[in-house]
């Protein structure tokens, strides 16, 4: 299979990339690791006259803590993310999601920014960004702007990026002392997308009640989704079996799965209910241990 | 149709070539350079038969463009043996029957080669996880896992030998 013809650019500066993007507008597509885009081009589901490969743009593959945030450059590969010592040690929810993305070969090319800005409701990092209440830094010709992870993906494969804009950084709040998170992904085979997956991030108060909850869902709606009602339900409570079970029931009611290759909508709800309960219990336990 | 000039280093040899931007790396390696040890299996980024190393990291060459290796180094299965002698991993696959039809083998070996460069003595779980993007439809994987374990031992022995020889000198 061959993609249809295109003209190719590989800028090394963000400024150049933005200029090319505004010059060619909708006929151009940004490519980072290409692990989602190249298959689409090969299958001719997508075709563009201009491909702007930003993988050589300098300075966008760093992971570091600054101020209140862990800053991840959009061009950091998923492999770099999973091998990063700081991420392994302090950002378990992120690490857990990273090692479950596709397979090691794909993770060597695929990027954090691509995983998010592709807008695929089955991609794993958007749910983690939602659960951790992350912010995204978007770069455009006029400068930078910050958006909440929630409002970034607006529909299946659709983001709030405006013409001429590129996702530059992901900003994850540095975890509080007593907080716990996890990512549970149910898939049919190794390296596959999920039937359903759930990211839970809990901040505990001194009396072990939930001070703040973040719950993000993958593969069970047209876009990555925050389980708002379930978050409000568990906030202020201690997690007992009955609470986790009721929260999972609410999470399922907030999902809008559709029947497809990965299973019927009903099956996906059942899977989601089970992993959601498990994830809430696990995140709580991890919060207690710290 | 635009043609782009690229310079790359493939299996230690400097290459200058002209490619169409849409040309996939796997086709460039097989058709332009004759490196047919790089296989086309699924052509959809699932099977790993097309695995090569780009700047030392294992990637699927069906999901990369040839223009993207401009200025980078590529290693294929043809490039891992030295002085006409099989690489220890190749010897291990031969001895432990790590293949039947052989179609997935170059990918299995290169993905494991990448692992063993960073992790000399991996656990079975690490070997299995590392190969999760490489499919084999013959062996049932057991003999492949045994081959990688044995290959790791052979590589460590070879390293020891090299170090001893250096000491003798």
Asked if the model's pLDDT at residue B168 lies above 80, the reply is no
DSSP state of B24: B
pLDDT attached to residue B165: 85
B71 within some domain = yes
CATH number at residue B29: 3.10.20.30
B9 within some domain = yes
pLDDT attached to residue B2: 83
Question: The complex's ipTM?
Answer: 0.96
Residue B145's pLDDT band, with cuts at 50, 70 and 90, is very high
For residues B48 and B92, state if they share a domain: no
For residues B28 and B70, state if they share a domain: yes
CATH number at residue A244: 3.30.390.50
The residue among B65, B70, B141 with the most chain A CBs within 10 A of its CB, best to mutate, is B65
Distance CA B102, CA A254 (A): 48
pLDDT attached to residue B163: 87
Q: Structural domain tally of chain A?
A: 3
Q: Which two tokens stand for residue B28?
A: 């460039």
For residues B128 and B72, state if they share a domain: no
Tell whether the torsion through CA atoms of B145, B148, B151 and B155 is positive or negative.
Answer: negative
- The whole domain housing B29 covers 4-79
What is the SS3 assignment for B14? strand
pLDDT attached to residue A48: 97
Query: Which segments of chain A have a pLDDT < 70?
Result: 290
For residues A232 and A254, state if they share a domain: yes
- The whole domain housing A14 covers 7-52
For residue A11, list chain B residues with Cβ-Cβ distance below 8 A: none
CATH number at residue A39: 3.30.43.10
Determine whether the interchain pair A105/B20 forms a contact, defined as Cβ–Cβ distance below 8 Å.
Answer: no
A2 within some domain = no
Residue B1's pLDDT band, with cuts at 50, 70 and 90, is low
- Digit-coded pLDDT (tens) for A30-71: 999 999 999 999 999 999 999 999 999 999 999 999 999 999
Number of Cβ within 10 Å of residue A58's Cβ equals: 11
Distance CA B43, CA B58 (A): 16
Residue B167's pLDDT band, with cuts at 50, 70 and 90, is confident
For residues B70 and B10, state if they share a domain: yes
B169 within some domain = no
Say whether residue B141 is in contact with chain A using an 8 A CB cutoff.
no
Shortest CA gap B122–chain A (Å): 15
Determine whether the interchain pair A109/B130 forms a contact, defined as Cβ–Cβ distance below 8 Å.
Answer: no
β-strands B73-75, B4-10 pairing: parallel
**Option in A6, A53, A191 nearest B133 (CB):** A191
Residue B169's pLDDT band, with cuts at 50, 70 and 90, is low
Say whether residue B64 is in contact with chain A using an 8 A CB cutoff.
yes
A1 within some domain = no
**Option in B21, B58, B65 nearest A105 (CB):** B58
Domain boundary among B22, B49, B79: B79
For A109, nearest residue in chain B (alpha carbons): B59
For residues B69 and B97, state if they share a domain: no
Q: Enumerate residues 6+ apart whose C-beta is below 8 A from B37.
A: B76, B77, B78, B106
Domain boundary among A153, A173, A193: A173
pLDDT attached to residue B83: 87
- Digit-coded pLDDT (tens) for B43-68: 999 999 999 999 999 999 999 999 99
Q: Which residues in A have their CB inside 8 Å of a CB on B?
A: 1-8, 10, 34-35, 38-39, 41-43, 51, 53, 55, 79, 102-106, 108-109, 190-191
């Amino acid at each position: 299979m061959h993609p249809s013809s295109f003209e190719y650019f590989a800028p090394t500066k963000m400024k150049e990339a933005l200029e090319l993007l505004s010059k060619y507008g909708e006929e151009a597509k940004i490519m980072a690791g290409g692990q989602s885009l190249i298959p689409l081009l090969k299958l001719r589901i997508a075709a563009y006259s201009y491909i702007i490969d930003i993988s050589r743009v300098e300075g966008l593959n760093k992971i570091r803590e600054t101020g209140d945030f862990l800053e991840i450059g959009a061009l950091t590969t998923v492999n770099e993310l999973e091998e990063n010592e700081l991420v392994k040690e302090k950002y378990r929810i992120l690490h857990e999601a990273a090692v479950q993305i596709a397979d090691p070969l794909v993770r060597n090319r695929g990027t954090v920014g691509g995983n998010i800005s592709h807008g695929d409701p089955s991609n794993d990092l958007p749910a983690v960004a939602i659960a951790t209440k992350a912010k995204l830094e978007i770069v455009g010709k006029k400068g930078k702007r910050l958006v909440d992870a929630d409002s970034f993906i607006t529909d299946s494969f659709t983001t709030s990026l405006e013409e001429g804009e590129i996702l530059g950084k992901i900003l994850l709040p540095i975890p509080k002392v007593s907080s716990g998170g996890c990512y549970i992904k149910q898939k049919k085979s190794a390296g596959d997308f999920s039937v359903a997956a759930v990211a839970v991030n809990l901040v505990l108060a001194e009396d072990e009640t939930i001070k703040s909850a973040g719950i993000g869902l993958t593969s069970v709606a047209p876009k990555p989704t925050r389980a708002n009602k379930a978050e409000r339900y568990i906030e202020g409570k201690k997690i007992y079996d009955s609470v986790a079970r009721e929260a999972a029931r609410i999470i399922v009611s907030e999902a809008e799965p559709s029947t497809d290759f990965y299973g019927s909508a009903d099956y996906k709800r059942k899977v989601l209910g089970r992993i959601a309960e498990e994830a809430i219990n696990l995140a709580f336990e991890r919060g207690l241990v710290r | 149709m635009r043609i782009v000039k690229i310079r790359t280093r493939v299996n230690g040899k400097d290459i200058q070539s002209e490619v169409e931007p849409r040309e996939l790396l796997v086709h460039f390696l097989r058709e332009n350079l004759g490196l047919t040890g790089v296989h086309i299996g699924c052509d959809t980024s699932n099977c790993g038969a097309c695995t090569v190393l780009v700047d030392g990291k294992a990637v699927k060459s069906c999901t990369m463009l040839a223009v993207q290796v401009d200025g980078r180094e590529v290693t294929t299965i043809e490039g891992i043996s030295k002085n006409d002698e099989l690489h220890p991993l190749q010897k291990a696959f031969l001895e432990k029957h790590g293949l039947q039809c052989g179609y997935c083998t170059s990918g299995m070996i290169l993905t494991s080669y990448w692992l063993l460069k960073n992790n000399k003595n991996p656990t079975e779980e690490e070997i299995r996880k590392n190969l999760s993007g490489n499919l084999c439809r013959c062996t049932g994987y057991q003999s492949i896992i045994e081959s990688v374990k044995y290959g790791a031992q052979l590589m460590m022995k070879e390293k020891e030998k090299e170090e001893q020889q250096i000491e003798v000198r």
